Amino acid sequence: MEDMRVIKKNLFALLAGALLVPTLSVANPTIVDDPFEIMVSSVQENGLHGRWGYTAESAPEQYRRGGLAIFEENGQNKVVVKFEEADVFGQNVKVSGSTIRFKFTYEGVTFDVELTVKGDTLNGTYTSTDGTFGIKADRLKVM
């Protein structure tokens, strides 16, 4: 029952965020034109690929929960990081076995992320100028 509430909460946050029009004053972010399309309909659910709701307890309040879409496009692995205000493409995406590594820049800060999949959970770390912190994500199921 608790898992269903978390999934519904994360899914609601993803859908609500997709309806917002991002207005950013950051240097050169790559913004997804149609994040709802990527987050909901075109992501295949297998291994690392899929939609994920993440929790980063050490992050500032507005970034503690969000989404990830990990997918393949034209033979290349891609990542979209989902915040309430915007969706940002990951860069330098590298997959090795069950581990994915990527970078993204948001609000002038570059983040290095490393996640390893085990079943329907991703565990790993993100590193920024403030240090290295834990991050966990659970696969989102769309009914």
**Dihedral through CA 5, CA 7, CA 67, CA 132, nearest 10?**
70
What does the block give as tokens for 119? 């079943």
Q: In angstroms, rounded to a whole number, what is the distance separating the alpha carbons of residues 77 and 62?
A: 27
Supply the pLDDT for residue 102. Answer: 98
Q: Which residues make Cβ contacts (< 8 Å) with residue 120, sequence separation at least 6?
A: 138, 139
Q: Which residues of 94-123 are buried (b: 16+ CB within 10 A; e: fewer)?
A: ebeeeebbbbbbbeeeebebbbbbeeeebe
pLDDT at 118: 94
Question: pLDDT tens digit string along 43-86?
Answer: 556 789 999 999 998 888 888 999 999 999 888 999 999 988 88
pLDDT, mean over the chain: 76
